[in-house]
Amino acid sequence: MRSYEVYSEGDLFKLFINEVMERLASIAKVDVVIVGAGPAGLSAAISLTEKKLHVVVFERMLGVGGGIRGGGMLLPLVLVEEGYPRQLLEECGVKLKKIGEGLYAADPTESMVKLAAKAIDNGTIIIPGITVEDLITRIDDGKLIVKGVVINWSPIVEAKWHVDPLMIESRAVVDATGHDAGIVRVLAKRYPNLRLNIPGMASMNVWLGEKEVVAKTSKIVEGLYVAGMSVAEVYNTHRMGPILGGMILSGKRVAEQILRDLGVT
Ligand code: 48F
């Protein structure tokens, strides 16, 4: 008999529950919650954990990679530009093929799982199957501050069951929900006085869109930041198709803003 075969099914249940409770308790209060495990969220997680911040990523689906998983029109390829995006993917061990001046091709699944692996190796906790459905907020001296997120199991949210959620405190929250811009939308709904207008993205203009999404990556209110395609939705910047550079740079930029605001050097 192998050593582990001494454990009955009930013993395994108890070991499982004790361990998972310990893990979940460790994320009750974190430095940064990132909503969405697409390229922007994963890039932000990598930069933040390089500075040793305690980061959790909640992902609604079961897998990582967001919209990139489908490549372009379900054809398994993604494009990557020269500079930091190429450098980061190479650091993660992603195989890149030069297909034009300053332009590389990569496998979408490989790119996403290796970005996720680097984020995890740096200390990021990624939890799939959880939907962030609301925010924790406070008003301090008349100023709205986001203090964390409200979470529920995605199948519960999908089924529209009324099950009360649970809460995670954080010093910063990043809306990296892609085309949903779901967290900024929740804020707009909860606080109509903010008059947050979310127009949606503008039509395709690849190179302009790639620049805009980085330039507009920003803080929405104290404690809440937006990165990746959520930026395009919130600020009506242009869409860009299956290309990774803007997403990776937007994730890096939001991390730099958070580090500055939290006073981390
Ligand atoms: O959509 P997604 O990949 O967003 P991104 O990181 O990258 C956009 C690119 O995929 C692609 C592009 C533009 O040309 O390159 O469009 O900005 O990843 C967003 C992730 O967030 C999850 C969603 O399942 C996806 O994996 N998500 C969305 N809403 C929630 C969420 C939510 N409320 N709670 C948890 N996860």
Question: Which CATH number covers residue 188?
Answer: 3.50.50.60
- Expressed in angstroms and rounded, the spacing between residue 92 Cα and the centre of ligand 1 is 20
Q: Which of 133, 168, 177, 206 to mutate to test the pocket of ligand 1 (most atoms within 8 A of CB)?
A: 177
Query: Does any domain span residue 4?
Result: no
Which residue type is seen at 254? V
Tell if the pTM clears 0.95, that is, is over it.
Answer: yes
Query: Does any domain span residue 190?
Result: yes
Q: Is 217 in the pocket of ligand 1 (CB under 6 A)?
A: no
Q: Is 116 in the pocket of ligand 1 (CB under 6 A)?
A: no
Q: Is 238 in the pocket of ligand 1 (CB under 6 A)?
A: no
**208-242 pLDDT per residue, tens:** 999 999 999 999 999 999 999 999 999 999 999 99
Query: Does any domain span residue 216?
Result: yes
pLDDT at 191: 97
Of 155, 151, 177, whose CA–CA distance to 35 is shortest?
177
- Expressed in angstroms and rounded, the spacing between residue 106 Cα and the centre of ligand 1 is 19
Domains held by the chain: number: 1
Query: Does any domain span residue 233?
Result: yes
Structure confidence at residue 28 as a pLDDT band (50, 70, 90): very high
Query: Does any domain span residue 197?
Result: yes
Q: Is 229 in the pocket of ligand 1 (CB under 6 A)?
A: yes
Query: What's the distance, Cα to Cα, between the start and end of the chain in Å?
Result: 53
Ligand 1, atom 1: nearest CA belongs to which residue?
178
Q: Which of 33, 47, 60, 240 to mutate to test the pocket of ligand 1 (most atoms within 8 A of CB)?
A: 60
- Expressed in angstroms and rounded, the spacing between residue 21 Cα and the centre of ligand 1 is 27
**Bridge partners of residue 56, in order along the sequence:** 33, 125
Query: Does any domain span residue 97?
Result: no
Q: Is 172 in the pocket of ligand 1 (CB under 6 A)?
A: no
Of 86, 54, 47, 55, whose CA–CA distance to 256 is shortest?
47
pLDDT at 97: 98
Q: Which of 78, 126, 180, 203 to mutate to test the pocket of ligand 1 (most atoms within 8 A of CB)?
A: 180
**4-20 pLDDT per residue, tens:** 999 999 999 999 999 99
Structural domain harbouring 58: 29-69+115-262
Which residue type is seen at 206? V
Instruction: Tokens for 85, please give them.
Output: 């995006």
Query: Does any domain span residue 121?
Result: yes
Of 181, 236, 212, 217, whose CA–CA distance to 36 is shortest?
181
Query: Does any domain span residue 83?
Result: no
Q: Rounded mean pLDDT of the chain?
A: 98
Nearest 10 degrees: Cα torsion 39, 45, 47, 49:
-160
